[in-house]
Amino acid sequence: MRLLSNHSTISLLSVILVFCLNLSTIAQIEEPKQTVELIVLGIAQDAGFPQAACQKPCCKLAWKDPSIRRHVASLGLVDHATGQKWLFDCTPDFPQQLQLLHELSPDNPEHTESPILDGIFLTHAHIGHYSGLIHLGREVMGARQIKTYCMPRMQGFLSQNGPWSQLVKLENIKLMKLAGSDSIKLNSRIKVTPFLVPHRDEFSETVGFIIHGPNKSALFLPDIDKWSRWNQSIEKMIEAVDIAYLDGTFFENGEIPGRDMALIPHPFVSESIRRFSPLPATERKKIRFIHFNHTNPVLQAANAATRKINQAGMAIAKEKEIVKL
């Protein structure tokens, strides 16, 4: 057998290397077009961080340093194969979050006809979860029939109360009725399942969502009164998904001096840590706390609260965090 010369060997290796690099480049180009991604667009409670008029130590530094401010809790969902984008909750920070969603998941040139949003899922009628809808109206975007998925009481609330009713009348939004535990199929790769939870339901029901991608699923539950008041097992819900974004509004009781925190019930993060600690490490690793009140110490840099969460094998949600589904 004739041996290749050194020159021929080097040339052949070069060709193979270039071929492999091209395959790698193609894979990198093609892979984002096919993925389904969940993007954390905000982690704060309804009022954001810092909160209006708060000059206490918890917010004082955030007024001076924009880099440590945080948007209201919201998730974005993107299917790169189709160019579709959805929001989970439409917050007062909607303008910034919509911009962030498109910056973190730029439109594919192949999807030139894609709308700016393919739909919005609403959890309930507290201000941080729906009030951003106003930007879809004629004074701002003048949007056309943005699908807005909500439960029956929430649908009635939006239809019967201004200024939201004007969005319905002018067809800026198209209300899509949800029913507890009935899945909505968004396309061949994604479905969303709402589930009812106990909360302060003055104007609407409250739901969380399970977001099912082609390979993984995520739980989004930013608001609930207490785990013990729910007729479902949160542990079984965590077991059934790959990542769980859970209500972390307050870290512990007494966080708001002078207010009866029983009137604003949420599972304290400290309570959740104790409850979830018996879970296997693989289950605890799924948990990401979200929806932090401005008083929650996890919003501060280098804090003991975050260390306790991490030591328990759990984590806090981070803005711009991306999870592939």
pTM: predicted TM-score of the whole model, two decimal places: 0.88
CA angle 280-41-37, nearest 5°?
65
pLDDT of residue 23 exceeding 60, the answer is: no
Buried residues in 11-20 as b, exposed as e (16+ CB within 10 A): eeeeeeeeee
Exposed, middle or buried, 99 (CB in 10 Å: 0-12/13-18/19+)? exposed
> How do the domains of the chain map onto residue ranges?
32-324
Amino acid 4: pLDDT: 46
pLDDT of residue 110 exceeding 80, the answer is: no
Q: Which class in CATH covers the domain with range 32-324? A: alpha beta
The SS3 assignment for 257 reads coil
Decide: 283 and 239 in contact? Cβ < 8 Å: yes
- Rounded to an integer, the average pLDDT of 232-246 is 98
Amino acid 114: pLDDT: 65
- Rounded to an integer, the average pLDDT of 31-47 is 88
Decide: 179 and 192 in contact? Cβ < 8 Å: no
The length of the chain is 325
Amino acid 308: pLDDT: 97
User: Tokens representing 172?
Assistant: 């800026």
Separation between Cα atoms, residue 103 and residue 38, nearest integer Å: 14
pLDDT of residue 250 exceeding 90, the answer is: yes
Buried residues in 39-67 as b, exposed as e (16+ CB within 10 A): bbbbbbbbbbbbbeebeeebbeebeeeee
pLDDT of residue 56 exceeding 90, the answer is: yes
pLDDT tens-digit series, residues 191-223: 999 999 999 999 999 999 999 999 999 999 999
Decide: 156 and 150 in contact? Cβ < 8 Å: no
Q: Give 254's pLDDT tier (boundaries 50, 70, 90).
A: confident
pLDDT tens-digit series, residues 280-315: 999 999 999 999 999 999 999 889 999 999 999 999
pLDDT of residue 90 exceeding 90, the answer is: yes
pLDDT of residue 119 exceeding 70, the answer is: yes
| CA 250 from centroid of its chain's CA atoms | 18
Amino acid 28: pLDDT: 44
The SS3 assignment for 291 reads coil
pLDDT of residue 236 exceeding 70, the answer is: yes
